Structure 1
């Protein structure tokens, strides 16, 4: 297909708003429920621009990236609202679109009002495909969206040109580890070291880590052992037009593994926590349960407070989830 034909197909897609929105679930392990959905966009099934790589590449070349992303956001928000999906909606936005002088900064909020979604349920997920030079301008733009109630996520951490600096400069609420470091993590000690380092930085910056691209139960088992709580990938659910409307169980092997791991009560003492972590050196986190045995969060090895804090209060402060 010639470039002219691709540009013509793109023009038709934008004019007709013929974008298909798919939703991939993000699961919270500690509560075994759907935490949110990432919206993924496709062109018409009979179009050479059906694949997202082709669609966004030609839009970038044609200078229509901002317009295409706006159409994708509109489709995703409407479909998410119509299906009454649970949790948060993660919307992909490129930094280069946010930095365009004519970027319609008030458009997302207006769209959410039309479809009946609160900004607090939407996460702007920065997807970096080209170098970002003006960090200050990007930070200003994202602070503007934070002020409106949106949260921020950095996608593909470790793969972009400047993802670590973006994390340092923007202090996002969520970071998504690039699937390269998840693929085969059960066989690669270096990948486990990388993910472990990311988890430590996340605790210091109060960011939540999402591991994406999980396809094998063995990969998920390692992440569970390391204390990763938010997960995404084909093993948990493929992108589809109908999102997950109700919470569902995790894969059997994961549920069994979670059940076999030690748990702590909300009123556990510091001494009890230290003893459990001492007996289970491979664990980076322990599951916390209430008086009825229901999971209510995770307590991380490196998040234990100083002994001066009371035991019940200390446990609650160190719990995530």
Structure 2
């Protein structure tokens, strides 16, 4: 099977060889498909063995192959008996289709930009959110596209690790102690906390970073089946000195009830509720309810997506603690000074 925990010491295990053998589960639908395409193959006990001389040939063989079941494949390089990679057919197709972006993810050609976060009461820097960018000259690849491709190709966990590595490296090089770094974590990484902890704290020690300067942002884009288990895991991170934040409150499954149960150090409010909050009574009631919960629990509240002075002033008027957004500062390769309204 595809590595559940990416083997960062053997990146070659993620690459598709230029030529070799494809092994695919033997089903009647696959046999009919291969016969219809007049492909050369050998029938084994449980698989079909299909030779290919180029990746383009491999893609031509599999691109229209039916996925009526969760077909599993393995690819072997020419002249070798070991498997380079094993993964579902759907992921193999996407690995070839998005080969350039897959190489970016695997190679770690990534860096981290800084978006400032201020204390609302005095407009002073509190920290920076670390935002993923590529290190390709003259090529701007949207981070959303990278994560979409990573999801399609089964490289989501690897990209999450690479992004975290880039964020910690950039933090060590460019930020002083005492300034917070807000770093995104995928829910899957948080749940696989033993591996995640080992990898993350190895980097923290390598770069001589104080855990107290880090805040891990968790956004639950899928329904939380066991919110109390998630609360326990977040508690482990907090016990190690790292702050935790619930991201995008009000969006998806990040609800007020979830906030009450998880009781993180920080909560970041989805920009939908911040946009024109100075003019919208419904949004104001939601924000005030958040502030009431925060007042009872000691949670720091951060407004995301501030784009107008009026939004910042409203958030300040209700006692919100922190803010970020284009009005305050755009993501940049260097942690720039704050020029409100001037970025």
TM-score for the superposition, normalised by structure 1: 0.71
Match of 2:270 among 178, 181, 184: 178
Match of 1:193 among 285, 289, 294: 285
State the match for 1:279 in structure 2: none
Q: CA deviation at 1:30?
A: 2.2
1:251-291: per-residue Cα shift (whole Å, max 9, x none)?
Answer: 59xxxxxxxxxxxxxxxxxxxxxxxxxxxxxxxxxxxxxxx
Q: CA deviation at 1:219?
A: 1.2
Greater mean deviation of Cα atoms: 112-121 or 46-55: 46-55
SS where residue 130 of structure 1 aligns? coil
Greater mean deviation of Cα atoms: 14-23 or 48-57: 48-57
State the match for 2:197 in structure 1: 105
Instruction: Compare CA radii of gyration and give the structure with the larger one.
Output: 2
State the match for 1:149 in structure 2: 241
SS where residue 172 of structure 2 aligns? helix
CA spacing shift, 1:6–1:41, aligned 2, 3 Å: farther
Match of 2:145 among 51, 54, 64: 54
**Considering only aligned residues, what root-mean-square deviation do their CA atoms show, in Å?**
2.4
Tell me the distance in 2 between the aligned counterparts of 1:180 and 1:6: 34
Equivalences for 1:125-274 in 2 at 5 Å? 125-244=217-336, 248=338, 250=340
CA spacing shift, 1:163–1:18, aligned 2, 3 Å: farther
Tell me the distance in 2 between the aligned counterparts of 1:140 and 1:132: 13
1:69-120: per-residue Cα shift (whole Å, max 9, x none)?
Answer: 1111111111111012461000101212222487432211111111111101
CA contact 2:109–2:136 (8 Å) conserved in 1: no
Greater mean deviation of Cα atoms: 39-48 or 138-147: 39-48
Equivalences for 1:79-118 in 2 at 5 Å? 79-85=170-176, 87-100=179-192, 103-118=195-210
CA contact 1:95–1:138 (8 Å) conserved in 2: no
State the match for 1:285 in structure 2: none
CA contact 1:28–1:34 (8 Å) conserved in 2: yes
Tell me the distance in 2 between the aligned counterparts of 1:190 and 1:153: 24
* Corresponding residue pairs, total: 249
1:180-239: per-residue Cα shift (whole Å, max 9, x none)?
Answer: 001111221111111111111111111010001000111112112222231110000001
Match of 1:20 among 88, 111, 114: 111
Q: CA deviation at 1:48?
A: 8.5
CA spacing shift, 1:57–1:165, aligned 2, 3 Å: farther
1:46-89: per-residue Cα shift (whole Å, max 9, x none)?
Answer: 79982121111221232222211111111111111101246100
Contiguous gaps of at least 5 residues in structure 2: 1-92
Q: CA deviation at 1:148?
A: 1.1
Larger relative contact order (C-alpha < 8 A, sep ≥ 6)? 1
Tell me the distance in 2 between the aligned counterparts of 1:100 and 1:48: 33
CA spacing shift, 1:225–1:35, aligned 2, 3 Å: same
CA contact 1:182–1:212 (8 Å) conserved in 2: yes
Q: CA deviation at 1:4?
A: 4.0
Moved over 6 A (4+): 46-49
Tell me the distance in 2 between the aligned counterparts of 1:101 and 1:30: 35
SS where residue 186 of structure 1 aligns? coil
Tell me the distance in 1 between the aligned counterparts of 2:138 and 2:252: 29
Greater mean deviation of Cα atoms: 160-169 or 187-196: 160-169
Greater mean deviation of Cα atoms: 72-81 or 12-21: 12-21
